[in-house]
Amino acid sequence: MRALLVPAGTGDERTRLSQPQRWWVIPTLAFWHRRTVWRVVGPWFGLFAATFSTALGLVALPFLAKMALLFAGNTLALGLFERYIRRKLKRRRPCALPPPSEPARSITSSG
């Protein structure tokens, strides 16, 4: 699923991973408020949400139960998408960015 990778030239990887995802699958709002994330994941999430909503509409349940399941399913999907993207960014991070603890080197003519 190469389409879910965030484009390499954004330079936003460090800030995207600055806040950890808590409780394993609960989505982090700071992560989802970025346009680059929605540009990559938006079509996939839209496809899931439309399919899930249609399937849930065919089940005979009370209205509030359907809405609760719809909310829980979409929240779980966002959390799993975030988990997947974070894993991909952490794998790619050492290649894309220098380590944060590496000091800057000065270039001098004397040696």
| Sign for the pseudo-dihedral over CA of 33, 35, 37, 41 | positive
**Helix, strand or coil for residue 12?**
coil
What is the distance between the alpha carbons of residues 48 and 52, in angstroms, rounded to a whole number? Answer: 6
Q: Which of 2-6, 25-29, 46-50, 80-84 has the lowest mean pLDDT?
A: 2-6
What are the structural domain ranges in the chain? 60-92
Q: What is the pLDDT of residues 8-21, one digit of tens each?
A: 555 555 565 677 77
Counting beta carbons within 10 angstroms of the beta carbon of residue 83, is it exposed (0 to 12), middle (13 to 18) or buried (19 or more)? middle
Q: What is the pLDDT of residues 18-66, one digit of tens each?
A: 777 777 888 888 888 888 888 888 899 999 999 999 999 999 999 999 9
CA 36 from centroid of its chain's CA atoms: 10
- 83 pLDDT above the threshold of 60: yes
Higher pLDDT, 1 or 104: 104
Q: Which is nearest to 47 in space by CA: 79, 82, 74?
A: 74
Q: Specify the amino acid at residue 77.
A: A
Asked if residues 94 and 46 have their Cβ atoms less than 8 Å apart, the reply is: no
- 1 pLDDT above the threshold of 50: no
What is the distance between the alpha carbons of residues 96 and 17, in angstroms, rounded to a whole number? Answer: 14
